[in-house]
């Protein structure tokens, strides 16, 4: 092979999957490892993410440019899939304009779909097939300033008899999720980043994909990978205009070590 020729290979390691799982690690041996749901309402990140997580051994389902109602229905349908029963994990990646607490999808009313509701669809109460299994969420939020948003709106959420109030002026409350096995990584950057470069991918998601495609880095635990991701993002911020800087928040209730790739 010459240096210019691409090498097509799976990121997943070869050989039989017969590793003994220690008590302090999540079991990650199913084929596929789980469903990876990608909802990209901007459209710049899907291809790289799809290739990355498919290479890791996930059943990747991609959706672009959804409005709030369609996204809600998609989340509900994926949460109800019986396939989760035979899988060891679940991943959800969302890319959208929004506020710190909501995502706007492709809607222009800025009413917002609550991120908390996204999480609730996949907790053990709502999705028993994922009980005790790691559920990972990676959220890229392009933040729209408050003066561009309507104050309050009502969103009817399928599957619940309640209406969820989405108020754009609620401050960002840092609350640890009260359910186990959740890994929640949310990155915020001002929407002006998109306006200046509409076709650019998220630096946060690009670095995540690079780490997971690196044969050495991807063997680290997900917490160690995220620590390296933090480092890359904050190094980026040092050389970037303050209005274009990324802000990264990690919340998790993992009970064990999580490795997405066999050691």
Note the pLDDT tens digit of each residue in 79-98.
999 999 999 999 999 999 99
What is the rounded average pLDDT of the residues 43-63?
98
Q: What is the pLDDT of residue 193?
A: 93
Is the pLDDT assigned to residue 175 strictly greater than 80?
A: no
Would the pLDDT of 41 be above 70?
yes
Residue with the bigger pLDDT between 143 and 6: it is 143
pLDDT of residue 149: 62
Position 150 scores a pLDDT of: 54
pLDDT of residue 107 exceeding 70, the answer is yes
pLDDT at 166 over 90: no
Over residues 181-207, mean pLDDT: 94
pLDDT at position 168: 35
Compare 15 and 188 and report the one with higher pLDDT. 188
Q: Stretch 135-159: mean pLDDT, rounded?
A: 71
pLDDT(231) > 80: yes
- Dump the DSSP string for the chain: --TTS-----SSPPS---PPPPTTB-----SS-EEEEEEESS-SSHHHHHHHHHHTT-EEEEEES--HHHHHHHHHHHHT-GGGGG-SEEEEEEEEEE-SSEE-TT-SS---EEHHHHHHTTSTTT-GGGTTS-EEEEEEEEEPPGGGS-SEEEEE-TT-SSEEEEETTS-------SSTTEEEEEEEEETHHHHH-TTPPPHHHHHHHHHHHSTTGGGS-HHHHHHHHHHHHHHHHHTS-GGG--EEEEEE---SB--SS--
Q: Which domains can be identified in the chain, with CATH numbers?
A: 34-190+200-252 (3.40.50.1460)
Q: Is the pTM of this model over 0.85?
A: no
Span 206-219, average pLDDT: 96
């Amino acid at each position: 092979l010459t240096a210019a020729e691409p090498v097509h290979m799976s990121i997943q390691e070869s050989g039989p999957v017969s590793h003994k799982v220690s008590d302090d690690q999540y079991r990650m041996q199913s084929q596929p490892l789980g469903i990876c749901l990608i909802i990209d309402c901007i459209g710049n990140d899907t291809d790289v993410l799809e290739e990355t997580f498919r290479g890791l051994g996930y059943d990747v389902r991609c959706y672009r440019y959804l409005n709030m109602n369609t996204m809600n229905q998609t989340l509900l349908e994926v949460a109800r899939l019986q396939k989760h029963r035979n899988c060891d994990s679940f991943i959800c990646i969302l890319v959208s304009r929004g506020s710190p607490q909501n995502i706007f999808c492709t809607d222009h009313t800025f009413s917002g779909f609550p991120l908390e509701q996204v999480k609730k669809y996949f907790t053990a109460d709502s999705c028993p097939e994922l009980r005790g299994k790691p559920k990972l969420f990676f959220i890229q939020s392009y933040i729209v300033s408050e003066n561009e948003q309507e104050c309050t709106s009502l969103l009817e959420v399928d599957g619940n008899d309640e209406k969820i109030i989405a108020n754009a002026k609620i401050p960002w409350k840092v609350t640890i999720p009260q359910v186990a096995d959740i890994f929640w990584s949310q990155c915020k950057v001002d929407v002006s980043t998109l306006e200046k470069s509409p076709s650019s991918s998220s630096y946060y998601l690009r670095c995540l994909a690079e780490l997971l495609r690196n044969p050495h880095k991807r063997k680290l635990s997900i917490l160690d990978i995220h620590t390296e991701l933090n480092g890359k993002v904050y190094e980026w911020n040092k050389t970037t205009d303050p209005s274009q800087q990324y802000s990264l928040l990690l919340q998790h209730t993992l009970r064990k070590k999580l490795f997405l790739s066999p050691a």
